[in-house]
Chains A and B, each alone.
Chain A
Amino acid sequence: MLYAFLCCHDEAVVNSWSKEEDAAVLEKRARVTDKLAASGKLGPAVRLMPTTAATTVRMGREPVVLDGPFAETKEALLGFYLIDCDSLDEAIDIAKQIGRDEKVVFEIRPVKLFLPKGKMPAQGAMKGEMIS
């Protein structure tokens, strides 16, 4: 069975970490996840940008686009897509296409760190990938 692990944390707290503190947390986690990666158990790992970078598309007869993260509590997170978009406009457009005739809500959040095989790369190796 594949399990998704959704990481929930107090954003203001995480944002107040220094670069060193942040790196220390990632390093601590990597001690576990790198082992999982070596045994082939680990899938993609993603770190999202802050919720301030989020845009929410609420589908309905007229889709509504809102700034900020998805904030309701009635709906639950049931799944997600990872899509390579040229711009936020394209991302919103895709959300509208996928959600046509549904009452789904999409929170569109840019990705900060994407590790296709879950493993942390050697220091600095991510750079080229992240800027592009």
Chain B
Amino acid sequence: MNEVVWIDSVLRSARPQAIGALLRYFRDLDRAEESFQEACLRALKTWPVNGPPRDPVAWLIMVGRNVGLDDVRRRSKSAPLPADEQISDLDDAEADIAERLDDSHYRDDVLRLLFICCHPDLPAVQQIALALRIVSGLSVKEIARAFLVSDAAMEQRITRAKSRVARADVPFAAPGAVERAERLGAVAAMIYLVFNEGYSASGGEQHVRAPLCDEAIRLARLLLRLFPSEPEIMGLTALLLLQHARTKARLDDDGAIVLLEDQDRAAWDGDMIAEGAALIDKARRHGRPGAYQLQAEIAGVHARAAKASDTDWAAIDRHYAALERLQPSPVVTLNRAVAVSKVQGPAVALAMIEPLAEPLAGYFHYFGLKGGLLLQLGHGDAARVAFDRAIALAHTPAEAAHIRLHLDRLMKESRPA
């Protein structure tokens, strides 16, 4: 690894802490970003000559702060702005900064930075784009590519999102315990959105969007480093790792969906599975199950099965039942019905999803499962109706193609011999 690549990875990993701290000083997102950018330019100039600093994050914050202050002072001379009110901690001594820079002090800075991206008024796509731009430091071009829109359109979305959060007035004092927990919950949900945006994509787009999954895992790990005792953050990180471990096996060479039971399990990523399992193990000791932990448990049961037929469906049923109690939703019940069909048969599962017809009337997977269950029970005609509905509701060509496979099979079977 050459020096420039090394410096680049240091700057990348320092970004959330550094911008988080600069945001606290300047209370202005643009100024925090700009001064971090300037500090990075100086790092690229001086580190190769003088060698890297002992604490690169502290170095970047210090330089970024000085750059930003110079800039504020220059502007305050030419314009009668009350600069002092915009800047906090003006008289921090440098030694003081260096002393305070350990993980526990970055904690609230990074959390605040992530939390700003989760503003409830922002649609999901803007939350994700903002987090990728500000926290992960992806370029607008990279983000635009991931969302399959033009650079200009993405630039506009990010600008709009930024001006929205600039008006949001997120408090800068250290948050209390309840507020911290709320922020943590919102940030976890946003990270999950980032992951899903990358994961649910399919077909030819998939290779473009996998970086979103990597970014989400990086953010989850960052959050877990800062909040090492939060079982739900362990669960979230485990869930993302366990799902991402299957990425290579999810689509075949033509971009068609490969169902979990048909996937080549040798293609699953053993490192990610092992790390996910270790995190579930840690989380379980807290005895405080949550939605991410339970979903991670479910993914873990699948990951542990060497063959699809080894899957412990009773365990999956149990975890989904717990999830249903914790967070009742038709989609959770639908997922549980899959496990129930394996343990108790398709008739019981079909009865279970019957009441979901109304809430899930527009849901592709509902009709996919219903068709599958009807097929197992020998009701070919009813199955065909459900499959047709599923195709009409499919979001991606891969989803539709998968259902068509079932239909083709039905057609063949119903043809007179």
- Residues on A close to B: CB < 8 A? 10-13, 15-17, 21, 24-25, 49-53, 55, 65-69, 87-89, 110, 112-113, 126-127, 130-131
| Residues of B9-52 contacting chain A, CB below 8 A | 9-10, 12-14
A21 to B8, CA, bound (A): 13
A13 to B270, CA, bound (A): 22
B229 in contact with A49 (CB, 8 Å): no
A52 in contact with B221 (CB, 8 Å): yes
Known: A52-B225, A68-B229, A87-B281. A131 touches B273 (CB 8 A): yes
The answer to whether B180 has its CB under 8 Å from any CB of chain A is: no
How near does chain A come to B21, taking the closest CB pair, in angstroms? 15
| Residues of B226-246 contacting chain A, CB below 8 A | 228-229, 234, 237
Query: From B303, which residue of chain A is reached at the shortest CB distance?
Result: A131
The residues of A that contact B282 with a CB separation of less than 8 Å are: 53, 55, 67, 88
Interface contacts (Cβ under 8 Å), in number, total: 77
Q: Which of A15, A68, A131 contacts B274 (CB 8 A)?
A: A131
The residues of A that contact B273 with a CB separation of less than 8 Å are: 131
- Residues on B close to A: CB < 8 A? 1, 5-6, 9-10, 12-14, 56, 218, 221-222, 224-225, 228-229, 234, 237, 266, 270-271, 273-275, 278-279, 281-282, 285
The residues of B that contact A126 with a CB separation of less than 8 Å are: 270
A51 in contact with B225 (CB, 8 Å): yes
How near does chain B come to A125, taking the closest CB pair, in angstroms? 12
Q: Which of B6, B13, B229 contacts A67 (CB 8 A)?
A: B229
New A-B pairs, 15, CB < 8 Å, besides A52-B228, A126-B270, A131-B273: A12-B222, A13-B6, A13-B9, A15-B221, A16-B13, A24-B1, A52-B279, A53-B275, A68-B229, A69-B228, A88-B282, A89-B281, A112-B274, A127-B266, A130-B274
The residues of A that contact B278 with a CB separation of less than 8 Å are: 49, 53, 88, 110
Query: From B229, which residue of chain A is reached at the shortest CB distance?
Result: A67
B271 in contact with A15 (CB, 8 Å): no
The residues of A that contact B281 with a CB separation of less than 8 Å are: 87-89
